[in-house]
Amino acid sequence: MTDLLTISLEELVSSLSSLMDHTIAPLRDHHRRTAIAAFHIADQLDLTWQQRHDLIFASAIHDIGAFSVMEQQVLHDLSFESQYINLHARAAYLLLKEFSYFDTIAEILRYHHAYLNNSTELDRTLIPYESLIMQVADHAAVLSVDSLNILDASAAIINEVNQQSGIMFVPEIVEAFNRAAEKENFWLDIKNLPLSSLFKDRLKLDNLHIKSSELMGLVNLFRRIIDFRSEVTSTHTAGVAAVSAELARFHGREEETIRKIKIAGYLHDIGKLIVPSEILEKPSKLTPQEFNIIRTHTYFTYEFLNGMTIFKDIRDWASQHHERLNGRGYPFHENDNTLPFESRAIAVADVFTALTEDRPYRKGVTGKDAMLVMDVDVQKGELDGVLVALLGAHLDQINQARVIAQDASQKEYQVFVMELTKDQF
Ligand SMILES: [Fe+2]
Ligand SMILES: [Fe+2]
Ligand SMILES: [Fe+2]
């Protein structure tokens, strides 16, 4: 096992921003557009390479905190005048600062809505210059959405941004925007340029070199983004990771495999970021249309992980958790002949956790009752009989591991929510 891991920030940013760009309307294609606009504005300013690098990185994921405040119904109120506007910026800061390599990015995101006129009581030297640039880029990106031919809309957008010069935005940054916005390529890039082209030809992002022991820190960052969307989901991932790791342990797997299964467990539902929170939180039966939206999530888990070399090993394990041995799962219709042990273990852990965990609107069933349900799933040819029997044989220990992991995650979530609403920025 090598001690240093290389994480491509280009892969990370592309995977994450394209995942987020598949979600509901206010965020659709929003991250790509903002990053491209920020790149062009930065080109007109005297920035260091590092500042430009961090600005593009931060812009491409800047609304990542919005997923964690969806339950407060604020995603639909991402308008720039909203009183909740800083909530998702603060959420992004709280999520990212836990992984020390992303400290600077966390600070940039924290202040990405700290406009001149809504942060008067704030010490303005705290606000990174990159945040101030992103504010203008963000606006241009939002205003650019509705136009069929963006060149028809550019004059009105320039006008709208300039009206906020000295009110919301720093005048010298608006000037830089104006110089960039004179050129058609600024607008055509906002509308069309893939992030991959930006990274290829104009601004290479760094690779991150971390110790292999630090990978869990990055994975935990994702876990929190996935689980902390709402109280309903706030501990699910932690439970699945714990149960699948225990299954692997009782199956006699090596430490390294157990660790990787745990990572796959943590990431298995990352594709759920594209599912609106009303559907995730719905206590009653889903309509066929809603269920079809849910059914897309493992496809997006696959796409997200497929984009990142560092997660190549666990891509299939994580994204196959709704596949079934009889071929009736989704989305690839794998079967008994094609599903590896690790994917089966995560599928069993997912069902067990879903049955036993408490939800705000119902209590989880006992471990024994969950086994009765899962035995039927084995008879139907859905779940692996050997793994379900292994779970039954070590039920108390495995269930205990789940409860401990989910309790810890619950506490973490409570602290997160408290921190979120403690300060405005
Ligand atoms: Fe934002
Ligand atoms: Fe935004
Ligand atoms: Fe799932």
From the CA of 139, the nearest ligand is 2
pLDDT at 2: 58
Structure tokens, 177:
């925007």
Question: What distance in Å separates the CA atoms of residue 413 and residue 76, rounded to the nearest whole number?
Answer: 22
Task: Round to whole Å and give the CA distance between 258 and 237.
Answer: 16
Taking the CA atoms of the chain, what radius of gyration do you get in angstroms?
23
pLDDT of residue 108: 98
> For residue 303, what are its two tokens?
């796409």
User: Quick one: which of 108, 150, 98 has its CA closest to 130?
Assistant: 108
| 78 CA distance to ligand 2 middle (Å) | 8
Structure confidence at residue 79 (pLDDT): 62
Amino acid 414: pLDDT: 93
Q: How far apart are CA 415 and CA 425, in angstroms?
A: 16
Surrounding residues of ion ligand 3, Cβ less than 5 A: 269
Are the C-beta atoms of 181 and 187 separated by less than 8 Å?
yes
322 alpha carbon – ligand 3 mean position (Å): 6
pLDDT of residue 148: 82
What's the pLDDT at 115? 95
CA of 9 to the centre of ligand 2 (A): 20
How many whole angstroms from 360 Cα to the centroid of ligand 2? Answer: 31
Q: Which ligand is nearest to the CA of 347?
A: 3
Question: What is the reported pLDDT for 78?
Answer: 54
Cα(137)–Cα(150) distance, rounded to whole angstroms?
15
Residue given tokens 């690790």 in the structure block: 342
Name the closest ligand to CA 137: 2
Q: How far, in Å, is the centroid of ligand 3 from the Cα of 37?
A: 35
Ligand 1 centroid–CA 352 distance in Å is 37
Q: Which tokens hold the place of 226? A: 């996935």
Helix (H, G, I), strand (E, B) or coil at 362: strand
* Alpha helix ranges (H) inside 268-311: 277-281, 288-294, 297-306
CATH 1.10.3210.10 occupies which residues in the chain?
A: 4-208, 231-421
Low-confidence spans in the chain with pLDDT less than 70: 1-2, 24-25, 70-83
- How many A from CA of 70 to the centre of ligand 2? 15
Span from the CA of 103 to the centroid of ligand 3 (angstroms): 30
Which residues lie below 8 Å from residue 397, measured CB to CB, with a gap of 6+?
A: 246
Query: Which ligand lies nearest to the CA atom of residue 320 in the structure?
Result: 3
Question: What's the token pair of residue 216?
Answer: 């869990």
Note whether 36 and 87 are within 8 A (CB): no
Instruction: Indicate the class that CATH gives domain 4-208.
Output: mainly alpha
The continuous run of DSSP H or E covering 19 comes out as: helix 9-20
Quick one: fold of 231-421?
Hypothetical protein af1432 (1.10.3210)
Task: Give, rounded to a whole angstrom, the gap between the first and last alpha carbons of the chain.
Answer: 41
